[in-house]
Chains A and B, each alone.
Chain A
Amino acid sequence: EDKVVQSPLSLVVHEGDTVTLNCSYEVTNFRSLLWYKQEKKAPTFLFMLTSSGIEKKSGRLSSILDKKELFSILNITATQTGDSAVYLCALRMEYGNKLVFGAGTILRVKS
């Protein structure tokens, strides 16, 4: 069974802190790894990673994929209360457009 594991399950930080969220997986036949932010209901797209070692960056968020060690990380620097959300990691599988999600990391940023 395809498996995506995210860690930590939850964390609480103060504004201005830097956080690193982890996503490890056990499959190799996937097309891309995606990160989503889910605040209330609809997950919103953050990054798509297909190549190992190439960092994607958007403002204070960045992400990288390591296909050899089978993991990805999402970094958020200078956290703000608006970063409080569930962060989901997903694999887009080789065939079709199916996404396999991890359980998510709950991030709470305190002011």
Chain B
Amino acid sequence: ETGVTQSPTHLIKTRGQQVTLRCSSQSGHNTVSWYQQALGQGPQFIFQYYREEENGRGNFPPRFSGLQFPNYSSELNVNALELDDSALYLCASSSRLAGGHEQFFGPGTRLTVL
């Protein structure tokens, strides 16, 4: 069984730039959720994708957008980066068929915005 993987592991961007983060869900999982974890805080829900459509969104501006592909992998795109976007971005996958209770997290992407 393959776990959740994310890429890249870390990256550095400057204000105003755009970034794309990637996530491959665990085998058999059809739902992907993205979270932002600032230093010293718990993860904050950004949005969730199910069957290639956004299925719930947290309190994040439209410059945070995403995609889910037919193989259930997902991308998180952030435009016009701001300093406060510096955080650990976590992807979690789950299976609607299995009730979706347990979300399996990837190792995250550490984004630094200068």
A109 to B112, CA, bound (A): 30
Which B residues lie within 8 Å of A101 (CB)?
Answer: 35, 42-44
- Chain A 30-44 per-residue mask, 1 if CB under 8 angstroms from chain B, else 0: 011010100011111
A100 to B41, CA, bound (A): 12
Q: A97 and B108 in contact (CB under 8 A), knowing A41-B88, A104-B42? A: no
Chain B contact patch, size range: 20 to 34
Is residue B58 contacting chain A, with contact meaning CB distance below 8 A?
Answer: yes
> What total of A-B pairs shows CB separation below 8 Å?
67
Beyond known contacts A42-B105, A44-B105, A103-B42: 4 more, CB 8 A cutoff: A97-B31, A98-B58, A99-B33, A104-B42
A90 to B101, CA, bound (A): 11
Q: A42 and B108 in contact (CB under 8 A), knowing A31-B101, A99-B45? A: yes
Which A residues lie within 8 Å of B104 (CB)?
Answer: 45
Of the candidates A4, A99, A104, which one forms a contact with B103 in the assembled complex, judged by CB atoms under 8 Å apart?
A99
